[in-house]
Amino acid sequence: MILVFGQSGQVATEIQRLAPDALCLGRAQADLSDPEACAAVIQANAPHVVINASAYTAVDGAEQEETLATIINGDAPKAMAEACATLRIPLIHISTDYVFDGAGHMPFAPEHMPAPLGAYGRSKLKGEEGVRGAGGTHAILRTSWVFSAHGNNFVKTMLRLGAQRDSLRVVSDQIGGPTPARAIAEGCLTLAQQLRAAPQKSGVYHLSGAPDTSWAEFAREIMVQAGQGCRIEEIPTAAYPTPARRPLNSRLDCSSLSVLGLGRPSWYAGLQDVLSDLKGSR
């Protein structure tokens, strides 16, 4: 049995679609602000593998709520990992490009030294450290710019605003890989299967969509595929200040995915699938 922390989030929703028998827990069943309760849920259910697809994801909000973000993103994964190590079962933990500072133009490799710019990145890095420190079989899956037909994300925001306005100003100097939530879910399930058979594959993996692009170019393609006439005006990050600093370079080196028999998913194809899902849900 696969136990998943997360139920209504983007990745958890896709895991449920791909693995209907997985036990996906929402906040009512497992509140990540109570790490000991999360560990107790694992002990009580004794699953074959655990996937942590839940997190505090409000990047700007974390600047004001760093203590809470650190409990949810740092302490809870540590407690999960320790429980999994005790039961000798694998843990797959989803992390983020925000553990890096976004300097330079080269893709960040899994072994690159983290240097988060803000509270959200610091909280996620603490979670990574806790998972590794527990000493059990694990995979830390870093990803970026997640989108799907579910929840709140850039694609849905662009579609909503694009239907209301003739033009939108979108930053063009942040570069990364938009990643379909479905591809992340598939990656988590692949890791779950392979880690049970080959614990030596434990480690850090990067999974992001290809090709790398800017938010502005991503927004432009959203409008094209959706058939919306909204124009995208490119602006620098400096023209769109936010409480939390965003990394300018979110490129991830995903070459280690070959160990798992995986490659980078096309975000063009992923976007087509999401738009089809959204059209079908109307």
Which pLDDT value is given to residue 282? 58
| Distance, CA of 43 to CA of 204 (rounded, Å) | 25
Q: Which residues are catalytic?
A: 120
The DSSP code for 31 is -
Q: What tokens does 44 get? A: 């009580």
Which pLDDT value is given to residue 68? 98
Task: Report all structural domains of the chain as residue ranges with CATH numbers, in order of start.
Answer: 2-280 (3.40.50.720)
| Distance, CA of 102 to CA of 145 (rounded, Å) | 14
| Distance, CA of 179 to CA of 152 (rounded, Å) | 14
Greatest pairwise CA separation for the chain in angstroms:
56
| Distance, CA of 272 to CA of 230 (rounded, Å) | 18
User: Which residues contact residue 173 at a Cβ distance below 8 angstroms, ignoring those fewer than 6 apart?
Assistant: 214, 236, 237, 248
| Distance, CA of 145 to CA of 214 (rounded, Å) | 11
Which pLDDT value is given to residue 87? 97
> Residue 23: CA atoms inside 13 Å, Cβ hemisphere, count?
14
Q: What tokens does 143 get? A: 């990803």
Angle CA(94)–CA(98)–CA(100) in degrees, nearest 5? 115
Which pLDDT value is given to residue 280? 79
Q: What tokens does 255 get? A: 């070459």
Residues in the chain: 282
Angle CA(41)–CA(42)–CA(47) in degrees, nearest 5? 130
Beta bridge partners of 23: 3
Which pLDDT value is given to residue 281? 67
State the DSSP H helix or E strand holding residue 111, giving kind and residue range, or none if neither.
none
Q: What tokens does 281 get? A: 């849900």
Query: Contact 12/54 with Cβ under 8 angstroms?
Result: yes
pLDDT beneath 70: ranges in the chain = 281-282
pTM for the model stands at: 0.96
How is 62-90 classified by DSSP, letter by letter? Answer: GGT-HHHHHIIIIIHHHHHHHHHHHHT--
Which pLDDT value is given to residue 207? 98
